[in-house]
Amino acid sequence: MSPDEYCQQKTAQSGSSFYYSFLFLPPERRRAITALYAFCREVDDTVDDATDQSVARIKLAWWRNEVTQMYSGTPTHPVMLALKPHIQPYDLKQEHLQAIIDGMEMDLDQSRYLDYPNLKKYCWHVAGVVGILSASIFGATNPQTLKYAETLGLAFQLTNIIRDVGEDARKGRIYLPIDELQQFNVTAADLLNARHSEKFEALMKFQAARAQQLYDDAFALLPKEDRRAQRPGLMMAAIYRTLLDEIERDGFHVLTQKISLTPLRKLWLAWKTYVRG
């Protein structure tokens, strides 16, 4: 299996919404974004699949070294071998790839966030910087496009947090800011024991409104001259925002179930956005 085939398999197996937007890219950009996404999956799985935190830290340190080696010319992992040819053409910064690993390490260091500014810092590492790298691959001629992509990445991550509240709680992680839980009189025990209530719905409406505003802010930042190149991000946004709308319509029953869209619906949303241009 070639490095590109390895990344393609890793990406397709994830079932992620991102996969559907990659299908519409020219081959070279598709190979680049697939390799980037495979890298994100690899380091994320290092933390998610770890039963021993010390082992996870050792593996993340190994990945840090692989990133360094990729920029100095001698990576060994197929993902790094696949990503390496795209560093220069798309101006992919080493500090951004290392920042993603920093975000994964944050998951080992803490499982709660005191307030939104602290949560936002975490989201930048695991999603905002991924948006910046992705926009560089898609094609960005205006620096403001990277700000759009960073904001859109934050919106995606907040959507994920809303979708995964119950699942994350069962893993011992609560990403909803502590001060906002207190503001709506929802306790950690309510989440851990899946107690759905009007207070919980009010809290989640507050979270969803913030995410919706971020989608609006991101779209307002996207320069007209880069809109066509950035269609893959807009396809993801169509899928993610539709998911957020579905969660809201369902009354935020996310403590006991994981709401998702069918692959066919994701493909349809991606195609519709692509055609719209």
Does 184 have pLDDT greater than 70?
yes
pLDDT computed for residue 231 by the predictor: 93
Give φ, ψ of 174 to 5 degrees: -125, 110
Percentage of the chain exceeding pLDDT 90: 81
Predicted confidence band of residue 4 (pLDDT cuts 50, 70, 90): very high
Residue 264 in this model has a pLDDT that exceeds 80: yes
- Cβ(161)–Cβ(247) below 8 Å: no
pLDDT for 270 equals 87
What pLDDT, in 10s, does the model give residues 95-146? 999 999 999 999 998 889 999 999 999 999 999 999 999 999 999 999 999 9
The DSSP call for residue 87 is T
- Taking residues 200-227, report their average pLDDT: 98
Contact 229, 236 (CB under 8 A): no
Q: Indicate if the pLDDT at residue 11 is higher than 70.
A: yes
| CB burial of residue 79 (10 Å; 0-12, 13-18, 19+) | buried
Q: Are 119 and 107 in contact (CB under 8 A)?
A: no
Contacts of 88 (CB under 8 A, 6+ apart): none
Structure tokens at 74: 């001698």
Predicted confidence band at 257 (pLDDT cuts at 50, 70, 90)?
very high
Residue 257 backbone zone (phi > 0: left; psi -120 to 50: alpha; other: beta)? beta
Does pLDDT of 15 surpass 70? no
Task: For residue 221, count other CB atoms closer than 10 A to its CB.
Answer: 17
What pLDDT shows up at residue 277? Answer: 67
pLDDT digits (tens, 9 = 90+) for 215-235: 999 999 999 999 999 999 999
Specify which residues 112 forms β-bridges with.
174
DSSP 113: -
Tens of pLDDT along 17-76?
A: 777 788 889 999 999 999 999 999 999 998 877 778 899 999 999 999 999 999 998 899
pLDDT of residue 19: 78
Residues 234-257: what's their mean pLDDT? 95
